[in-house]
């Protein structure tokens, strides 16, 4: 099992898992997840990398600094948390960042705000500005209802009203978004344990409140274009993800200037968990290839 530890960084206490040696590689989870979702990948990556998997602010065993509903948990804050984590761990060399879902937002912001610290990006099913109005196409609106529901001030109280309620809500997304709706069965109670910890439901929901206005602007086509991210980027997108559709890969090159992208056949939203062996192999090939060309 990877080592579990804490550091103080960017004004909060960050929990993380760490194992292995070699070039630093940071793994950033999404919602509804926590750092433990990476454990199978960590074991496979540790022979090649110094693997660090933090709980994001508001998630898992990292601090929930807001005490209730908040709009302060922005991608910029999460990116600064990552920079602070690297400082606290005395990591000065460029790092590889592997990210998914919420983590992919943070990773893209880190790539823009801290480009000098980044060796490359490996992103799964990646929310990106080019999705635009497609978020609210008629056949997709039923998939994103939770993004509004998670912003309501009483949602955490309702979902956390009992262990059964939490299991129904969190379990729905683990089943519905994965290609195999039983892949999380062995760990479902562990996910419920995580989200029933004080503050963890609201901590995750604060992410949705914090990006709500930016998401609305993107859906309306009102966001200003950004310069493409220059860092070498690999995107591996689950073919059967119902909420972040593989067809939305079509204009990724507008966001990433140095891009390799393809589909992960037969996998859903949680590529890293659904097939950790394939995931670890792809990650290892990408980052060892970058070092060989450096």
| DSSP H or E stretch at residue 77 | helix 75-88
To the query of whether residue 208 is one of the catalytic residues in this protein, the response is yes
pLDDT of residue 223: 82
Among the options 101, 105, 128, 169, which is catalytic? Answer: 101
Q: Which of 235, 261, 288, 294 shows the shortest CA–CA distance to 96?
A: 288
DSSP string, 179-232: SSTTTTGGGHHHHHHHHTSTTHHHHHHHHHHHTHHHHHHHHTT-PPP-PPB-S-
Q: Which of 35, 15, 31, 34 shows the shortest CA–CA distance to 206?
A: 31
- Beta-bridged to residue 99, according to DSSP, are 28, 123
Among the options 15, 128, 269, 272, which is catalytic? Answer: 269
Question: What is the Cα–Cα distance from 2 to 118, expressed in whole angstroms?
Answer: 23
Q: Which of 191, 193, 202, 189 shows the shortest CA–CA distance to 158?
A: 202
Identify how many contiguous H helices and E strands the chain contains and give both numbers.
11, 8
Q: Which of 66, 50, 52, 53 shows the shortest CA–CA distance to 12?
A: 66
Domain locations in the chain? 3-293
To the query of whether residue 273 is one of the catalytic residues in this protein, the response is no
The answer to whether 248 touches 134, Cβ cutoff 8 Å, is yes
pLDDT of residue 221: 83
The 8 Å CB, 24+ separation contacts for 153-156 are 153/69, 155/201, 155/205, 156/201, 156/202, 156/205
> Domain 3-293: which topology?
Rossmann fold (3.40.50)
Helix, coil or strand: residue 5:
strand
pLDDT tens for each residue of the chain, 294 residues long:
899 999 999 999 999 999 999 999 999 999 999 999 999 999 999 999 999 999 999 999 999 999 899 999 999 999 999 999 999 999 999 999 999 999 999 999 999 999 999 999 999 999 999 999 999 999 999 999 999 999 999 999 999 999 999 999 999 999 999 999 999 999 999 999 999 999 999 999 999 999 999 999 988 888 888 899 999 999 999 999 999 999 999 999 999 999 999 999 999 999 999 999 999 999 999 999 998 887
The answer to whether 107 touches 97, Cβ cutoff 8 Å, is yes
Q: What is the pTM of this model?
A: 0.97
Tokens 């206490």 -> residue: 13
Among the options 16, 66, 105, 208, which is catalytic? Answer: 208
To the query of whether residue 48 is one of the catalytic residues in this protein, the response is no
- How many Cα atoms within 13 Å fall on the side-chain side of residue 236? 25
């Amino acid at each position: 099992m990877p080592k579990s530890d804490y550091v103080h960084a960017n004004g909060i206490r960050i929990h993380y898992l760490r194992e292995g040696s070699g070039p630093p590689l940071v793994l950033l989870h999404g919602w509804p997840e926590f750092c433990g979702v990476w454990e199978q990948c960590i074991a496979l990556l540790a022979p090649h990398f110094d693997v660090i998997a933090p709980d994001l602010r508001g998630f898992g065993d990292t601090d929930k600094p807001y005490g209730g509903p908040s709009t302060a948990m922005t991608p910029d804050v999460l990116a600064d948390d990552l920079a602070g984590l690297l400082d606290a761990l005395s990591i000065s060399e460029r790092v590889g960042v592997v990210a998914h879902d919420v983590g992919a937002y943070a990773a893209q912001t880190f790539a823009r705000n801290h480009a000098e610290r980044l060796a490359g990006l490996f992103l799964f099913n990646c929310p990106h500005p080019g999705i635009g109005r497609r978020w609210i196409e008629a056949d997709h609106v039923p998939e994103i209802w939770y993004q509004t529901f998670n912003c309501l001030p009483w949602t955490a109280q309702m979902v956390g009203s009992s262990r059964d309620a939490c299991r129904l809500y969190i379990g729905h997304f683990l089943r519905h978004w994965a290609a195999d709706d039983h892949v999380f069965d062995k760990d479902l109670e562990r996910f419920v344990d995580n989200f029933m910890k004080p503050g963890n439901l609201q901590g995750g929901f604060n992410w949705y409140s914090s990006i709500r206005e930016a998401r609305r602007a993107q859906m309306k086509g009102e966001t200003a274009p950004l310069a493409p991210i220059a860092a070498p980027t690999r995107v591996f997108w689950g073919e059967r993800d119902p909420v972040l559709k593989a067809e939305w890969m079509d204009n990724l090159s507008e966001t990433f200037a140095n891009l390799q992208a393809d589909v992960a056949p037969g996998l859903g939203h949680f590529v890293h968990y659904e097939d950790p062996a394939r995931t670890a192999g792809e990650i290892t090939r990408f980052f060892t290839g970058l070092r060989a060309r450096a």
